[in-house]
Every structure is written in structure tokens, then in C-alpha cells.
Amino acid sequence: MVHVDLKNMNAPGQPQPFRSDEKLKDAKQKIGVLSGINILVGIIIGSGIFVSPAGILSSTKSIGLSLVMWGCDWRVQYSRSMRLCRAGYIASKNGGDYIYIHHVIGPAAAFVTLWIIYFILSGTGLAANALVFAVYLLRPIYGDDTCEIPIRVVRLAALVGLRSTSSFENPFEGSTTSPGDLAIAFYHGYWAFSGWSCINCLTSEVHNPARNLPIIIIASLTIVTIIYLLANIAYLAVLSPYELMASKIISNAVAETFAVRTMGPVAFLMPLCVGISVFGSVSGGILSSSRVGQAASVEGHLPSVFSMLHIKQRSPIPSVLGLVFISVYFLFSEDTSRLIELTGFAFIIVTAMTTCCHIHIRRTTKVKSEFSIPMWISWVYLIINILIGCLTIQLNPWDALVSLALMLVSLPLYIICIALERNSFTFRRLLHKFTIGTQKLLSVVKPEESL
């Protein structure tokens, strides 16, 4: 959308636009099975395992049903992963959901997806995780007295619990039957598993994606699910359900309470472990989300410099820095967490669009793949997304409306940028100078020159 028309610029030394999608495939493929699993496990296991257990238990009202919900979330994510594996193999491009929507629905819908994923969800998510990392990294240094009221709540919760495995007696007693509560519990687990699809943003960098993509995703989800279930069992073996639900008042307090009970004088190590876990998630998020910006640049939705690679590292440094600057902006915003909540409905819409794209690709593209899933699984997943969206509208209609407005605000921006590119020589000239200056500053070139 904002590619410079270089033929009309007549400027010597002007970098040519990215001429062919095939050039991107010439980049060195570094990600194998083991490194792909490391990336996904690191992204998925961020702060979710320290927050979601309390949310799921509070919604399901019983231990047995909460563990069942973890299993249901795993099954849904597994089905979606297989569906996107096939789409990623067919597309063979970086960008994930953005590329699928651009290919099937068109550039306008793809720009909306870029706006939601790259500029809002990735920016706010990375900012929020960076704050969690900073807080828990500094907590052992400054001590627990820096947050007096929450720590008192944790200590009060520790007094009412019993240190035993009695939590597992009659595990389904008191289970909720409310569809709304079950939907909220499902959403908590869904959020804890989020991040696995990031590997689809790196498809062109995965060695032999037809074989390795499903192996990476299946192995990563299996490892994460085992860790999550063992963590929940460990929590409930040490803490009572009431303590676990009380920890929902404080982000990640369940891990601190657990550490105080089991680790004694070295309980201060738990905040460091939380910080390291979140740091891995932030690093992996930058790695994958920056490829969305790179793919958008290739398609013309961002300046061409965003698709350029460092001459030695072969990484899209401009796209990485763009994402970092967006995250820094949200880092100093007082409403970052609120903005994440408001964009949840928009993410559901993007996911539903991606599911529709997969169904379309499956029906219209006759490509032999090493793996396949029944079509009905895609339809079931689409229905689940629609139901979650309807429940979101019913429970929080105002949030859904604001989320929809955040999506639609990208359309005027899309139209304005198209008009500027086509009609404004000054705009193209400024973009040309920006590209040249960024290339000199960051030592980046178009992909075919970086090899």
C-alpha cells in the first residue's frame, strides 16, 4: 500500500522494491524441529500458567471440571494447529493469519488484521509481559514490602488453607453448569495456550515446513499441556481451592504462595523464575510478530524498508524496531491492560476470518499434503469462535463495540495511505528519504542482496 513507485522517482541509488515473493524463500532457513519447539514452548509458557489456573477454577467451581477444561482447551488448540499447519504449508510465507486473510479475502481485510495483530495486540501484549518481567525481576531486590496490601492478601490466604492433597477428594463437587461460566473458563485456558500459532509467522524460515511444522506444533502443545497439568496438580496438592481462587486477586500470586509453602528460605527464587519465563515469551513474541510486519511490507502495507534484512544477521531489524517502539509507547500507557481486554473481541473476529480462509483454501486448493484433518473440525472451530463472540457481546456489549471500533478505525487509515501513495509525489519522496536513511543507519538491504 505504501511502496514507493521507484520507477517514477528517478533517484540514483534508490533501493528497488521487493520484486518477487520467491526471493524471500532464498533466505537461510534456520529453524529446525528442536529450535522450533524451543521457540514455541518459550512463547506459550509466559505468565499464563501463573494466572489462568485461578481464573479457570473460579469459573468452573470444581477441581475436576477445571482439569477437564484444560484438556478441552488443548484439544481445540490442537485441532486449530493442524488446520493452520496445512494452510502454512500451502502459503509457504511468513505472516501467519495476515497472509491467509490477504490471500483469500483481500488487502483491506489484511490491513485490518495487520492493525490488530501488529500494532495493537503484539504491542500491548509485549508491553504487559515486559512489565511483569520487570516487576518480578526487581521483587527479590526491593523485597515484598513494596506492595503491602496484596502481600497481606496472600498471607491471609495462606492461613485458611490446609497443606494436603484433600483437594482431590470429590473433584467434581460443586461444578458449574452455567454456559457463561464455562465460556469464561475456556477463554482463560485459551489465553494460556496462546502463542503456538507464532510458528506460522515464521513458515518460510522453517526447514522443510511440510514435515517439520506439524511435528513442532504437536510436540510443543504436548509438552506445554503436560507442564500445565502437572503445575495445576502441584498447586492443588499444596494449596486449597480457596487459596488458589484468592490468588486471582493478584497477578501471579499463586506462584508466590506456592513458593512460600514449598521452597522455604529460597522462595525468593520464584519471582526470578516467573521473570525468566516471561522474558522468554517476550523474546519469542518479538521474533514472530516482527515477521508479520515484514510480510506486510512485502505486500505493500508498510514501507518497503520493513521487509529488509540486516546484511549479517539476516533479521528484519526495521520490523523488529518498529514493534519495539510500539511496545514502548504502550509501556508508558496507563490503560495497557484495559486495551488488551478491549481487543479480545477483535482477535476473535480475526480468528474467525482465518478459519473461514482455511475452509476456502481447503475447498479450492488441490494440494497434496503430508497431513490433513477432517473438514468438520474447521466448521466446529468456527462455530466455537462464533459462540465465544456472541457470549462476549452478551456479557460485555460495550467492550465488544469499542473493540469493533478499534478495528474499523484502520479502514480510513488504509484509504488515506492509498490516496497519498497514488497522488502525492511529496509523500513518495519523503518515504524514499526515510528508506535510504534507515538503510544507512541499520545496515539493511533488500532480501536478495543480504545473501
Give the per-residue pLDDT at 449.
Answer: 44
Task: Inform me whether the pLDDT recorded for 373 exceeds 50.
Answer: yes
Give the per-residue pLDDT at 160.
Answer: 38
Overall average pLDDT of the 54-72 stretch: 81
**CB–CB of 167/260 below 8 Å?**
no
Which residues have a Cβ under 8 Å from the Cβ of 314 and sit 6 or more positions away? 27, 28, 450
Task: Inform me whether the pLDDT recorded for 451 exceeds 50.
Answer: no
Could you tell me the pTM of the whole model?
Answer: 0.75
**CB–CB of 182/176 below 8 Å?**
yes
Please report, as a single letter, which amino acid is at residue 250.
I
**CB–CB of 247/151 below 8 Å?**
no
Average pLDDT, the chain: 75
Q: How far apart are CA 89 and CA 358, in angstroms?
A: 12
Residue 249 has a CB neighbour count (10 Å cut-off) of 13
Nearest by Cα to 410 from 116, 90, 156:
116
Q: How far apart are CA 263 and CA 391, in angstroms?
A: 41
* Least reliable range by pLDDT among 132-146, 289-303, 386-400: 132-146
Most confidently modeled range among 105-109, 171-175, 266-270, 375-379: 105-109
Ramachandran bin of 225, using left for φ above 0, alpha for ψ from -120 to 50, beta for the remaining angles = alpha
371: Cα separation from own chain's centroid = 24
Q: How far apart are CA 450 and CA 315, in angstroms?
A: 10
Q: How far apart are CA 110 and CA 338, in angstroms?
A: 25
Task: Inform me whether the pLDDT recorded for 13 exceeds 50.
Answer: no
* Least reliable range by pLDDT among 143-152, 236-245, 346-355, 428-437: 143-152
CA atoms within 13 A on the CB side of 155: 8
Q: How far apart are CA 204 and CA 214, in angstroms?
A: 14
Sign of CA dihedral 392, 394, 399, 403: positive
* Least reliable range by pLDDT among 83-92, 124-133, 203-212: 83-92
Give the per-residue pLDDT at 44.
Answer: 85
pLDDT band at 364 (very low <50, low <70, confident <90, very high): confident
In order of 41, 69, 193, 378, 409, the CA distances from 190 in angstroms are 15, 10, 5, 17, 27
**CB–CB of 171/64 below 8 Å?**
yes
Share of residues in the chain with pLDDT > 90 (%): 1
Give the per-residue pLDDT at 14.
Answer: 41
pLDDT band at 153 (very low <50, low <70, confident <90, very high): very low
Query: Which pLDDT tens digit goes with each residue over 222-244?
Result: 898 888 888 888 888 887 777 77
* Least reliable range by pLDDT among 16-30, 74-88, 115-129: 16-30
Give the per-residue pLDDT at 81.
Answer: 75
pLDDT band at 162 (very low <50, low <70, confident <90, very high): very low
Query: Which pLDDT tens digit goes with each residue over 435-445?
Result: 899 888 988 88
Cell readout for 204 is: 518460510
Between 310 and 420, residue with greater pLDDT: 310
Task: Inform me whether the pLDDT recorded for 450 exceeds 50.
Answer: no
Overall average pLDDT of the 72-76 stretch: 81
Cell readout for 159 is: 492461613
Domains, the chain, ordered by start: 6-449 (1.20.1740.10)
Most confidently modeled range among 50-59, 257-266, 363-372, 435-444: 435-444
pLDDT band at 318 (very low <50, low <70, confident <90, very high): very high
